Amino acid sequence: MPVDVLVGLQWGDEGKGKIVDVLAPTYDVVARFQGGPNAGHTLTFDGIKHVLHQVPSGIFHPHIINVVGNGVVLDPFVFRQELQKLTDRGIDWAKNLYVSRKAQLILPSHRALDRINEEARGGSKIGSTLKGIGPTYQDKIGRTGLRVGDILLPDFQERYQEAVARHTQLAQFHGKELEIAEFEADFFSAVEFLRTLQLTDTEYLLNDLLKQGKNVLAEGAQGSMLDIDFGTYPYVTSSSTIVAGACTGLGIAPKHIEKVYGISKAYCTRVGSGPFPTELLDEVGEQIRQAGREFGSTTGRPRRCGWIDLPALRYSIMLNGVTEIHLMKADVLDEFDEIQICTHYRTADGQETDHLPDHGDLENLTPIYTSLPGWRTDLQAVTDPQALPTELKSYVQFLEQHLEVPVSIVSVGPDRVSTLHLN
């Protein structure tokens, strides 16, 4: 059976968690392949809002196997908190949650280094969530990191102290102290909890399940424009957020991949620093922010808002081989008389392009817009795709024509039921 992959096509926060939750009942396995607690996937059903950070979004379905893959960086303390919240809500996760022994551990010193590094950048801050993600991936690539499987070794405490010693030296380079003593007791308590979970070689687990005919939904975090290689570098995350990351982050071969679901908002948002060609720094941007409740589910930070950006979407679609688009939060644009769509950019020298240039040139782009009439309809009251307003159907057709990929889902509200399948 195949592996289908779900990825964000923008700068994250597209609504991937909701779509995983909607699609999950048709899958046997949901597997998270990268990122860490810097990602927040929000799911709303039965009138209750759930925010997941490291736990795969299929966890609310008892028949689904949920896998935290080797590409994830795992904070044991945050992970325990997440699972406790699920327990408090009556979710029995113990039997269907598996964690890769090869996933990297986020240590208290990683979080401290993250803050120190960001402060050292001064006015050139990346916009880090300060969750320790970057320093953990640095240790992974530097081959000095600790992995989940290491907590089962008799010398784990020694390995931990060696890591802290290295991090102390890095902090001292910036003239800082790590100041992690108050967090270590909670960390080691969470490590003890982590030892009780199903820690395994998930690459074998997943490939065995595929041989048994099980189908897998690979869940990505962040968005393609934050990819470490292809995003708006250096204002990116520290992992591969595109489809290729699913192979390395889960240990599955490319031949298994079939569908690629690309998730995009009907507009565009970004958190943190970095170029954002269609950003709106006026009352329209604020109207979108308030209507869409655009505040980070992990950090609470207000998101930067703007109109949808087709050159950036085309770039992400190309990189991921997207087979269908899921258009999220269309209801946020309910009150607009006109909807703007960026179809091209004008460069600093006056040239018109539909390509995404290198990050250095992104700062000097002027978006070229096409205006379409708004629908001025309460979309959350729509339950039948055929009843969608003509203006929204025209908007969707415009996107399909210019992106050359079908839009198969339109989301018209936060709840699980507010998800309209177009075909």
C-alpha 286/C-alpha 303 separation (Å) is 10
Q: What backbone torsions phi and psi does residue 175 show, to the nearest 5 degrees?
A: 75, 30
- State yes or no: 300 annotated in a binding site: yes
- State yes or no: 329 annotated in a binding site: yes
CA angle 94, 98, 102 (to 5 degrees): 145
Residues contacting 248, CB < 8 A, separation 6+: 71, 240
- State yes or no: 383 annotated in a binding site: no
- State yes or no: 222 annotated in a binding site: yes
Sign of CA dihedral 58, 61, 62, 64: negative
- State yes or no: 237 annotated in a binding site: yes
Catalytic residue list contains 355: no
Neighbours of 363 (CB within 10 A): 13
Q: What is the token pair recorded at 204?
A: 């074998």
- State yes or no: 417 annotated in a binding site: no
- State yes or no: 292 annotated in a binding site: no
- State yes or no: 330 annotated in a binding site: yes
- State yes or no: 36 annotated in a binding site: no
Catalytic residue list contains 41: yes
Closest C-alpha among 397, 288, 370, 300 to residue 332: 288
Catalytic residue among 4, 13, 28, 309: 13
Catalytic residue among 21, 28, 41, 326: 41
- State yes or no: 298 annotated in a binding site: yes
Catalytic residue list contains 49: no
Catalytic residue among 50, 110, 131, 140: 140
- State yes or no: 243 annotated in a binding site: no
Q: What is the dihedral of CA 124, 139, 4, 15, to 10 degrees?
A: -40
- Cis, peptide link before residue 234, omega less than 30° from 0: yes
CA angle 416, 291, 400 (to 5 degrees): 65
Residues contacting 325, CB < 8 A, separation 6+: 9, 261, 262, 263, 264, 317, 399, 400, 403, 405, 406, 407, 408
- State yes or no: 108 annotated in a binding site: no
- State yes or no: 13 annotated in a binding site: yes
- State yes or no: 378 annotated in a binding site: no
- Strand (E) or helix (H) holding 284: helix 283-291
Q: What is the dihedral of CA 148, 234, 116, 140, to 10 degrees?
A: 20
Radius of gyration, alpha carbons of the chain: 21
Closest C-alpha among 288, 295, 301 to residue 49: 295
- State yes or no: 89 annotated in a binding site: no
- State yes or no: 63 annotated in a binding site: no
- State yes or no: 101 annotated in a binding site: no
36 neighbors 271 (Cβ within 8 angstroms):
no
- State yes or no: 12 annotated in a binding site: yes
As a three-state string, the secondary structure of 108-120 is: HHHHHHHHHHHHH
- State yes or no: 17 annotated in a binding site: yes
Q: What backbone torsions phi and psi does residue 118 show, to the nearest 5 degrees?
A: -65, -40
Catalogue the active-site residues.
Answer: 13, 41, 140
List, as residue ranges, the binding site for IMP. 13-16, 38-41, 129, 143, 222, 237, 301
Residue numbers belonging to the annotated binding site: 12-18, 38-42, 129, 143, 222, 237, 297-303, 329-331, 411-413
User: Where is the binding site for GTP, in residues?
Assistant: 12-18, 40-42, 303, 329-331, 411-413
Q: What residues are designated binding site for Mg(2+)? A: 13, 40
Q: Which residues are annotated as a binding site for substrate?
A: 297-303
